[in-house]
Structure formats: C-alpha cells, structure tokens
C-alpha cells in the first residue's frame, strides 16, 4: 500500500510518498508527477516513510529526475538510493566496452 499527498505553493509542488513504491504504485506516482508538472514548473518528490522500493521502480524514478523532478528521501538507505538514482540519471549510458572510461583509472604509464 502506498500514499501520495500533494502540496502546492505558488510555482512549487511537493509530492510526499509513503509506504511501498512498487508495482502499480510506480505508475500512480508517474501520473501524479505528470499532472503536477502541468500545474507548476518546479516539482519535488519526497520519499518519506517509504518501507520498500522494488528494482522496477528505479528506472521510472531515474526518468523523473531526467525530467527535472527533485527527488529527496529520509533515512540512510533511501537517501543513498536516491543519491545513486540521481547520479545515474545524469551520467551518460555506457556500452560496457573496454574503451569506456573507468572511474579513478589514472593510466600509470601504460
């Protein structure tokens, strides 16, 4: 079960998500975000008291971040997960080829 509440103040909309973010609730959140974007240009989604996020929810959250949604969370696990989602949303996709840059690799004369 999940609950999404909306608060609007001027050009800002805040969506608070509580409960489970999994299965059909991910589509519900995407729909709420689409409607909120129609009303206000600035949208923040706050994952508060979220007890579970399934793997299928990560791609939709990544897409929301790419659209300009500010994603926030409370708690250590969710905060780290959101940080990871935001980071992966702004980094270009890699093909997995050997020629892709490796983070932290300095070359060391090779």
Domains detected in the chain: 2-90 (3.30.750.24)
d(CA 36, CA 41): 8
pLDDT for res 43: 94
Distances in whole angstroms, Cα of residue 42 to Cα of each of 9, 92, 99, 103: 10, 24, 38, 32
- Say how many C-beta atoms besides its own lie within 10 A of residue 3's C-beta: 12
Distances in whole angstroms, Cα of residue 101 to Cα of each of 61, 84, 87, 90, 91: 25, 19, 16, 16, 12
- Say how many C-beta atoms besides its own lie within 10 A of residue 58's C-beta: 17
pLDDT for res 95: 46
Q: From first to last of its 110 residues, what are the pLDDT tens digits of the chain?
A: 789 999 998 889 999 999 999 888 989 999 999 999 888 889 999 998 898 888 888 999 999 999 989 999 988 889 999 999 999 988 765 544 444 333 333 343 43
């Amino acid at each position: 079960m999940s609950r999404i509440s909306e608060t609007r103040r001027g050009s800002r909309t805040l969506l608070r998500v509580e409960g489970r973010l999994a299965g059909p609730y991910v589509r519900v959140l995407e729909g709420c975000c689409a409607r909120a974007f129609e009303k206000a240009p600035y949208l923040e989604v706050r994952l508060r008291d979220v007890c579970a996020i399934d793997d299928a929810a990560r791609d939709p959250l990544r897409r929301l971040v790419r659209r300009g949604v500010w994603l926030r969370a409370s708690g250590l696990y969710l905060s780290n997960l959101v940080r990871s989602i935001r980071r992966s949303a702004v980094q270009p996709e890699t093909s997995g080829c050997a020629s892709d840059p490796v983070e932290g690799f300095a070359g060391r004369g090779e």
